[in-house]
Amino acid sequence: MIEYKYLDFEKPIIELDRKIKEMKNLADSENLELSKEIQLLEKKRDRLLKDIYTKLSRWQRIQLARHPLRPYSLDLIKLMFTDFIELHGDRYFADDKAIVGGFGKLDGANIMIIGQQKGRDTKIRQFRNFGMCHPEGYRKALRLMKLAEKFDLPIIIFVDTPGAYPGIGAEERGQAEAIAHNLREMATIEVPIIVVIIGEGASGGALGIGLGDKVFMLENSWYSVISPEGCAAILWKTENIDNPAKIEANKKQAAEALKPIAEDLARLNIIDKIIPEPPGGAHLDHQKTAQILKKELLEALVELEGYSSEQLCNKRLEKYRVIGIYNELR
Amino acid sequence: MAWFRKKSRDLSGGEKREIPDGVWTKCKGCGEIITSISLKKNFWTCPKCNYHFRIGSRDYVILLLDDESLDEYDGNLVSADPLGFKDSRKYTDRVADARKKTGLNDAVIAGIGKIDGHVVSFAAMDFNFIGGSMGSVVGEKIARAIERSIKREVPLIIISCSGGARMMEGILSLMQMAKTSALLAKLHKMRIPYISVLTNPTTAGVMASYASLGDVIIAEPQALLGFAGPRVIAQTIGGELPPGFQSSEFFLEHGFLDAIVNRSELKKTLSLLLGYMRVPK
């Protein structure tokens, strides 16, 4: 079991949960009639939960997106798909462990699934390189997409990365080329592509597998041109600041300024839908999260199946062609 | 070569362009003291060590296009402030300052021009305008430049010089990578040539989209090219970076460039390539 540190704003709820559990135990062991008291506490808990979660700041939402118990790609695949068979390797250099993919069935329908994968404990986290892909990861993803195109399978992609890996090998093997190439190729893949930001969507590392006909975000995920940390480092040179409280404040300010949460992206018309999470966040109920998401995916698949491959590609191009907000001087 | 003698279209200085205002200047590459006149005659490259001083987008227009051949498009596009972005300064103030300082409306100029008589859709980025960063305006102007190529069936030439996507327009900047790359897929399908020219620096979001997607990719010598910034990489690996890391020469060595071309040879090289890369009839 993983050692779990609760987020600060979760603590009052966790405390109430503990009390409810205690009372239930007491009722059972002493054979007492406490159902009224328990009900009252549960009501209080639900109110508190709603109260806290409707007022979360962007920075707090990002903490939820990074929650160590949040469902990762393989968790969701396991809960939603049957007969998943994982496929490996980019056929050029290596198998990138930060990205997984393969065939699977969604309510019986054959699907190609691709997802960035994080790890929960230190060892797996390192094995998965914290969900940070190398060029071979982007090339592996594209190989699987081409495979899907060949066999006319829709593609479902889960994005969850703190960024493309910034390292020597990554540069030597063309990190920028790998991402750019994916963007160009994904624009003309002749099968439906549905992208879901399930946790973190950091910059080009996310976009490199993130171009699709439908782009969804889980309620507590984030997606931005740069992480709040990266933004703060550039704007306020946080690496030269000694005061941790000041750095924290800068990150919070960057998180607010970047407008990176699902509501922001919906408002800017960048995403098609916000997928609601169970009360308190996806980490509290993986099963329910998967259930809600599965329903949305099936609906989107039905819609996209109505288009010919030509219509699909034209609509996809048009979707991205119109993104941008600027003024024209007379 | 008449173009650099023309007084009316002089290459002029600016802060980040590294072009000196005085009579003498010290080369950033080798420390040699050079007269500004000889530097200018030498395409703003050091006669001794071949260091390429950074120049602006208008300079590339003069350098690469036939005299007065540029028909500029979309010069009237200016940044909005979609996020209401503010750090130590307001984004709108930053843009206003950059416009005033550079005389440009954003970090790219684009249009239709001629290179040794070859009609091309041309775009050149300008580092002097907020680090050449790509927001909605740059993305839109590049997109329209690609569409002009498609519509007129003429080759596309983009001179990149950029630190990446513009942070202050958030996700909209990131999406310009998708927008431009998706349009390049269309260009590619129609077999219209695209030559990408990389200058110092071309990194991050621009490198990870259109700058990497040329049929032929050439770079000026010793330019900084890559995805992640060298400082970020050094921090991540917790050590020194190897010498020459992320330079044009490194890129060529690893197979991501067709050629490194001196600025003095750039126009000749583009012209030669355009002779081979014709739009199929």
Residue B198 has which token pair?
């990389």
pLDDT at residue number A4: 63
Q: How large is the average pLDDT for residues A58-85? A: 97
Can you list the residues of chain B whose pLDDT is less than 50? 1-15
Question: Residues A197, A202, A208, A211: is their CA dihedral positive or negative?
Answer: positive
User: Touching check for A325 and chain B: CB below 8 Å?
Assistant: yes
Provide the number of structural domains found in chain B.
Answer: 1
User: What are the tens digits of pLDDT across the range A24-46?
Assistant: 999 989 888 888 989 999 999 99
State the pLDDT at residue A6. 81
Chain A positions in Cβ-Cβ contact with residue B229 (cut-off 8 Å): 166
Q: Which domain holds residue B200?
A: 54-276
pLDDT at B116: 97
Average pLDDT over residues A104-115: 98
Q: What per-residue confidence (pLDDT) applies to B75? A: 97
Per-residue pLDDT band for A149 (boundaries 50, 70, 90) equals very high
Cβ of residue A302 closer than 8 Å to a chain B Cβ: no
What is the SS3 assignment for B22? coil
Q: What is the pLDDT of residue B16?
A: 53
Q: What is the per-residue pLDDT for B281? A: 78
Is there a domain that residue B6 lies in?
no
Complex prediction ipTM: 0.95
Name the residue facing B209 among A180, A239, A321 (closest C-beta).
A180
Average pLDDT score over chain A: 95
Assigned domain for B45 exists: no
| Contact call for B182 and A184, based on CB within 8 A | yes
Q: Do B185 and A188 touch (CB under 8 A)?
A: yes
Neighbours of A124 (CB within 10 A): 14
CB-CB neighbors (< 8 A) of A171 in chain B: 226-228, 233, 245-246, 250
Q: Does A1 touch chain B (CB under 8 A)?
A: no
Residue A129, pLDDT above cutoff 60: yes
Counting every residue, how long is chain B? 281
Distance in Å, alpha carbon of A247 to nearest chain B alpha carbon: 14
Chain B contacts of A257, Cβ < 8 Å? 83, 85-87
- A179/B contact by beta carbon, under 8 A: yes
Give percent of chain A above pLDDT 70: 98
Chain B residues closer than 8 Å to A170 by CB: 227-228
B1, part of any domain: no
Residue B173 lies in a domain: yes
pLDDT at A1 over 60: no
Are the beta carbons of A231 and B167 separated by less than 8 Å? yes
Q: What does the pLDDT read at residue A2?
A: 53
Kind and range of the H or E run holding A172 = helix A168-172
CATH of the domain at B170: 3.90.226.10
Distance between CA atoms of residues B136 and A326, nearest Å: 6
What pLDDT is attached to residue B87? 85
As a whole number of angstroms, the distance between CA B157 and CA B149 comes to 9
Amino acid B14: pLDDT: 42
Left (φ > 0), alpha (ψ -120 to 50) or beta: where does B130 sit? left
**Is the CB of A324 less than 8 angstroms away from the CB of B83?**
no
